Amino acid sequence: MVETKVGQAQPFLKWAGGKRQLLSKFEPLFPSSFDGYYEPFLGGGAVFFHLLNRIDRDSSIILGDVNQDLMITYQMIRDYPDQVIIGLQELQAGHGVEQYNQWRTHQPENVIGRALRFLYLNRACFNGLWRENKKGEMNTPIGDTPADRLFDFDNIRLVSKALQGVVLKPGPYYSGGEQIPLTSPRGWFIYLDPPYHQTFSSYSKNGFDEDAHRQLAKCAQYWSDHGAKVMLSNSDTEFVRSLFDGSDWNITVVEARRAISGKKSGRGKVGELVIRNYE
């Protein structure tokens, strides 16, 4: 039997703003080499999985996200893939409107249950739109994905292998008044994909306002000044451009198709910025 490479692992979640469709446009913009990898807005992880084969597995990899259930899901897949798969198989067998609505309000008492709930609702919800209200409750109705297409169990096993040795950091990448994270980033590649300016950003109850974008720009400048290769994606707005108008930053416009939105009018081709501190 031919051994499957770790890099063949693929994103296992639907994710609004996911970068899978843009990877071919991003490819010439990624750095040719780097020593460590940090992605604090992980989401569906398309960029991480794409770069996996070129990341030295002896170097450090840090992945984070403010969505606690998302990070628990990555952790459970990394550490307990068999338990996750067994639970998903049971959910797949009972899939339907009644079960879906029960799991929307269900609050599991253990971390495996939280991962199963997150995976099931993410894969089964309408149009892949994970949306949380102010209480942190998922409030998107069921979609039309058939039960037998909800999960790719072989890929979940590959993802588990890909995550071995990876540091997973739940919570906001930065808390006001605390030291900027990753204070010694020389040689690292840092990819930043925050909730986009002036777009839907309710993937977490915390939101991401303009002050948060300003703080992220300060962190990006710090990492740039201390030897990291930094790449950031965001909306093409005057506000975002103004945050990166110094000589350190190169701005490239790429065209993306926004495929996940609550309304058809919110889907279509849009211009996005890719901002880098390297050629």
Q: pLDDT tens, 38-76?
A: 999 999 999 999 999 888 878 899 999 999 999 999 999
Q: Which pair of structure tokens corresponds to residue 247?
A: 């000589």
Please give the class, per CATH, of domain 6-171+186-276: alpha beta
Other beta carbons less than 10 A from residue 4's beta carbon: 12
Which run of H or E residues covers position 231? strand 229-235
pLDDT, position 263:
47
Nearest in space to 192 (alpha carbons), one of 224, 168, 216: 216
CB 20 within 8 A of CB 44: yes
pLDDT, position 155:
97
Q: Domain residue spans in the chain?
A: 6-171+186-276
pLDDT, position 259:
54
| Residue ranges in the chain modelled with pLDDT below 70 | 1-7, 136, 176-178, 200-207, 258-268
Going from the C-alpha of 32 to that of each of 27, 59, 188, the distances in angstroms are: 10, 16, 12
pLDDT, position 267:
52
Contacts of 197 (CB under 8 A, 6+ apart): 210, 213, 234, 235, 237, 239, 240
Residue 241 identity (one-letter amino acid): R
pLDDT, position 181:
87
Max distance between CA atoms of the chain, in angstroms, equals 56
- DSSP strands (E only) in 72-138: none
pLDDT, position 53:
87
